Structures are given as structure tokens and as C-alpha cells.
Structure 1
Amino acid sequence: MVGDEEQERDFQRFLRRVDDIANLVQGLSSTDSAVNAKAIAEAEKRLRDQECSKEEERNTTVNRTIINTRASVRNGFLAMLEKDAKERAKRRKRNEHLANALKEKGNDAFRKGDYVIAIQRYTEGLEKLRDKQELYTNRAQVSVWE
């Protein structure tokens, strides 16, 4: 698979870097002055290259185009989340209003002694708003009277 091949390549690159560093450390600890001098020069070169790489990275992150592109994607996503949350809140408010109206109709039916209709209204209210505890309680109380 493509992902496995890419992981394998990354792993092999990592192992090569480990070998390079191990060889560099070995050269730095060598008693041979020529090998030691070569290792020191290589270490200094790597440090300079790393510093240049960090500088390029800092310059890239300051690049407004990249920052704005990422920000616009992030802001677009956040805007979608906010819109979804507002729609859900509106839908919940509407369902809560409907559930309250059905609860009142169930209460009226209960007062009139029409227990079957009361249970139906409480059940309809629960279909609109499943977490409205008093609808469960009222329906259970009607079941006792029925």
C-alpha cells in the first residue's frame, strides 16, 4: 500500500540519519587527529545547515500568504461549526416549545381522565425532546392511574 511504502521510506531515512550521527560521534571521539578534524568540520557544517533551515522555517511562517491561507481554512471551518451550532440551538428551542405544548395537552387530558390521550401526548413530546424529564415522570404517573 502507498502509506506503508511511504512509512518504510521514512523509516529508512531515519535509520540512515542515525547511522550518520553515530559515525559522526565516532569520528569526534577518534584519537586520529585527521578523522577528528574531519568530524568536527562535518558537525559544524550540520549545525550551520540546521540553523539555516530554522531561519527558512521562521521566514516561511511569517509569509502572509501561508498564514492567511491556513487561517481562512480554519476560519471557514469554525464558521461552519458556529452555523451548525446556531441551527441546532434553533431546532432545540423549537422542539422544546413543541414538547412543552404537548406536555400541557397531556396534562389537560390527564385532568379530564383521558389517560390514553395523556400518554400519547407525553410520548409525542418525548419524540420532540428526549431529555425532558417531566414528560417521563408524567407518562409514568398516568400509567399508574390507567
Structure 2
Amino acid sequence: MAGEEQEEDFQRFLRRVDEISKPNLVQGLNSPDPAVKEKIIAETEKRLHDQETSKEEEIKTIVNRTVINTQASVRGVFSLKLKLYADAKERAKQRKRNEHLANALKEKGNDAFRKGDYDIAIQRYTEGLEKLKDKQELYTNRAQVSMWK
């Protein structure tokens, strides 16, 4: 890392030397006219100052980019809560549908049991359990039909 920084400094130095040693600047420094020399020195100092200022602005820009945006995280949490709420709501709807189907299959199983068609009754109770695995009545009814069979 330190080697990279030294290389960057060296490259920056070379760029400055290139700026300073442009033909018109070098020729102006060699001029016998003191006014021309003064003008070239002022121009050179201005260019060096401008380069330093632009480097400082670049550093400020980099620092300003590292500001933490707290609003984004708040939006993210809110968005996550909305998604969880929507998911819970959808799951509740699906459970209601499955509960309705399981009850209908239980009734069909009960009808089949009353008619003495025990295999169909067991099949309907099992289908109801596939829709709603925690409906204990279906387990009980299926077990009772198995005993009658």
C-alpha cells in the first residue's frame, strides 16, 4: 500500500514538472525581460495552486461520499415489515381456504362412512389431512373408520 502511495506521489510530481516545463514557461523563465519572468512565475504558481485546490476538492468529494444514509435503512426496515405483513396475510388466507377444503373433505368422508364405504371415507379423511395437517378430527375419524373396516 505504501509503495502505491509513493508511486502516486511520484506521478503527481512528474505531472507538475510537465506543467511547469511547457515550452512557453521555460522560454519565459529564460527571457531577459524581468516582467516576462515575473508573469511566468505567477502563472506557474497559479497552476500549482489550482492543482492543489483540485486535489483538495477531490479529497472532500471522496469524504462526502462516505456519509451514512440512515433514511435508506429505515425505508429498508419498513419495506421488510410490509413484506412480512403481506406474507402473513397471504398465509392466513391460504390456511382459511385449506381449512374450508379440509372441512368439506371431512363431511364427504362422514357421508361415505354412513353409507358403509369405508375405503372412500379413509381416502377423504387422508385428502383432508393433506390440506390441513393439524386437524385432529380427521385423524380421529380415519382411525375410527379403520377399526370398523
Shorter-chain TM-score range:
0.5 to 0.7
Q: Please report the TM-score for the alignment, with normalisation by the length of structure 2.
A: 0.54
- Structure 1: which 5+ runs fail to align? 1-62
Alpha-carbon shift at residue 98 of structure 1 (Å): 0.1
Match of residue 84, structure 2, among 78, 81, 84: 81
Q: Does 1:125 pair with 2:132?
A: no
Equivalences, count: 83
Q: Which runs of 5+ in 2 are unaligned?
A: 1-66
Question: Which of 105, 115, 118 lines up with 1:102 in the alignment?
Answer: 105
Task: Report the Cα distance in structure 1 between the residues aligned to 2:106 and 2:83, rounded to whole angstroms.
Answer: 34
Q: How does 1:130-141 map to 2 (within 5 A)?
A: 130-141=133-144
RMSD: 1.4
Quote how far apart the aligned CAs of 1:139 are: 0.1
Show CA shifts across 1:54-107 (max 9, x none): xxxxxxxxx9x8332111000011111111101110100000000000000000
> What is the DSSP-based 3-state SS (H/G/I as helix, E as strand, rest coil) of the residue aligned with 1:113?
coil
Residues 1-146 of structure 1: pairs in structure 2 closer than 5 A: 66-146=69-149
Aligned to 2:53: none
Q: Distance in 2 between matches of 1:108 and 1:67?
A: 62
How much has 1:137 moved relative to structure 2? 0.2
Q: Highest CA radius of gyration, 1 or 2? A: 2
Matched residues, percent identical?
71
